[in-house]
A and B are shown apart, each in its own frame.
Chain A
Amino acid sequence: MAKSRTGRMIDGAVHRPRRQLAMVFDLNKCLGCHTCSIACKTQWTGDEGMENMWWTVVNSLPGKGTPKDWEQMGGGFDAEGNAKPSRLPSREEFGEAWKFNHEEVFAGGKGSSTHLKPNSNPRWGPNWDEDEGAGEYPNSYYFYLPRICNHCTHPACLEACPRDAILKREKDGVVLINEKNCKGYRFCMEACPYKRIYFNPLKDTSQKCIFCFPRTEKGVAPACARQCPGRMRFVGYLDDEQGPVHKLVHEYGVALPLHGEYGTDPNVFYVPPLSPPRLDEEGRIVEEEPRIPADYLRHLFGPRVDGVLAKLQEEIAKKQRGEGSELLDTLIVYSWPKDIFPDFAQDPAELPVHASGGQQR
């Protein structure tokens, strides 16, 4: 049986899709509100067996993330393109779907003697690092990092699967698990260096973010992007020169992949977080030293991050001087939804409801 080609390294070159859908997350606008996570959960992961799945998750950084310490697990490819071993994260490391004592608090007459809490004694969860941050007062800092499947150009998950059950679509580069072919071996889950694949023990299949393809195919933005109150998730084709995604990634060059050194060539890009300057022991502002240490941002986004932050500062200064900044205007998103996902501005509520064609949620 011929294997699918898109996304595979064949004779030393990765076979690219005709077009690639991508997202840009502007970390300077992320509120840490988790609306994206709830939007995705409501849309896609409400079924039994999916309780603990958060296809999009928001992590507080610095922190160990979801699953716990995923950055230490390996996977992806080395500089020569060889697949790197990893390990399977446990359900506890992702965080279980805790059950709460709703009954006791709301109906059991204990409303004033106990509080709402999980029935179990969890030791990790999807955003366990919330409110921790790092650094010493007054130089403490934190920021939010939303994570989804990166719909990588060279997906480690796809290359690891022995059953050709993962495909990268030729028309838009979206990476999907074909649940009919998946036998629940979890090699993909192990190989993905971002640990963005979950295992459904009831279906015995792996599952992950689908880039909301049933929505994008109707011109509707992914749920996480459309619901985002911070309006920080840009969506579009990377080759669309008029679109904000192309501009931010290629023209202005201010959006960077997370851990590009993992070798999978992600298609989710981040505008790195600016931070106020540090204060010295006397409380004086140290202009050239941001509170978020440059080393930490380099660790996440690679060596280009310094240049990107400098460029953002420059553009802010321009705007402050009353000169225009196309880059900042793009990031600001004056007109929603056309400035943030121009090709996917369709309001789902205005789509005709099909008589057949499956369930609408």
Chain B
Amino acid sequence: MRAHLRKVTSSALLQPDGEVWLDAKTEQIALTGVPVSMQPTAFIANSWTGKKVGVVDSLRFSALHNGESLALRLEWADPSEDLDIDDNDHFPDGAAVLFPFAAGAPLITMGSADQPVNAWHWRADRPGEAHNNTARGIGTTRVTKGAEIQTSARYEDGHWKLVFLRALRRDGIDSTVQLTAGQTTQIAFAVWEGSNGERGGLKAFSPQWHELSID
């Protein structure tokens, strides 16, 4: 995927239904459920044996930037809008994009001790923001402040449309990836379907890194 340059404001990029996205290139990203055998505890594996993990099987991805900020647009089909954690068995819909801090970080294990990864994580019960996570292996994600990732999401006709927007550079913040025009990096995706009880490693993900070039 190439993130083309568009001379528009960042707030224009942040609109999932904004005009700027109409002619943006989109790529279909196939997702697959994290296998039960990879779930990090026996309780989770035993509880999900024979059940479908990761019910969302694909998403459409577009990317644009305006020289200052990068915008990533994700759209996927989801028959139920799950917005809250008001009851013990309510889990919200969610999505994340993942970047390696340096090329070659392992994706399947969410990074490793010396090859960390950076996840921008949106949840439907936390509108407007995404959590900036760093991870060094399964179960090690840590939320850190200062990355300032904005989000805007709309649920319509059985689809989520979501934009992540972040300044290319976040000088002085080393817990999030630094991006520059002209750079090619890698990106991966995850989607959580709340109504299926998906949280943590119970999710659909893109099993390979995809290339992302910033024009």
**Do A and B associate with each other?**
yes
Which A residues contact B (CB, under 8 angstroms)? 1, 82-91, 94, 156, 159-164, 183-187, 189-191, 199, 201, 204
Contacts of B140 on A, CB cut-off 8 Å?
1, 163
Q: How many A-B residue pairs have CB under 8 A?
A: 71
Could you write out 29 A-B pairs with CB less than 8 Å apart? A1-B139, A82-B42, A83-B41, A83-B42, A83-B47, A85-B46, A85-B47, A88-B89, A90-B88, A90-B89, A91-B86, A91-B88, A161-B41, A162-B139, A162-B200, A163-B139, A163-B140, A163-B200, A183-B141, A183-B199, A183-B200, A184-B85, A184-B199, A185-B199, A186-B199, A187-B44, A199-B85, A199-B88, A201-B84
Q: Which residue of B lies closest to A180 (CB)?
A: B142
Question: Quick check: is B35 within 8 A (CB to CB) of the other chain?
Answer: no
Which B residues contact A (CB, under 8 angstroms)? 39-44, 46-47, 84-89, 113, 136-141, 199-201
Contacts of A189 on B, CB cut-off 8 Å?
88
B176 → A minimal CB distance (Å): 19
B85/A1 in contact, CB under 8 A: no
Whole-angstrom CA separation of A161 from B40 in the bound complex: 8
B201/A162 in contact, CB under 8 A: yes
Excluding A86-B47, A183-B199, 15 further A-B contacts by CB distance (< 8 Å) are A1-B113, A82-B42, A82-B46, A83-B41, A83-B43, A85-B46, A159-B41, A162-B41, A162-B139, A162-B201, A163-B139, A184-B199, A185-B199, A187-B43, A189-B88
B46/A84 in contact, CB under 8 A: yes
B44/A160 in contact, CB under 8 A: yes
Contacts of B44 on A, CB cut-off 8 Å?
160, 162, 187
A141 → B minimal CB distance (Å): 33
Q: Which residue of B lies closest to A165 (CB)?
A: B139
Q: Which residue of A lies closest to B84 (CB)?
A: A201
Contacts of B87 on A, CB cut-off 8 Å?
90-91
Closest 3 CB pairs of A and B: A160-B43, A83-B43, A162-B40
B86/A201 in contact, CB under 8 A: yes
Contacts of A91 on B, CB cut-off 8 Å?
86-88
A252 → B minimal CB distance (Å): 35
Whole-angstrom CA separation of A100 from B62 in the bound complex: 52
Q: Which residue of B lies closest to A197 (CB)?
A: B88
Whole-angstrom CA separation of A161 from B139 in the bound complex: 9
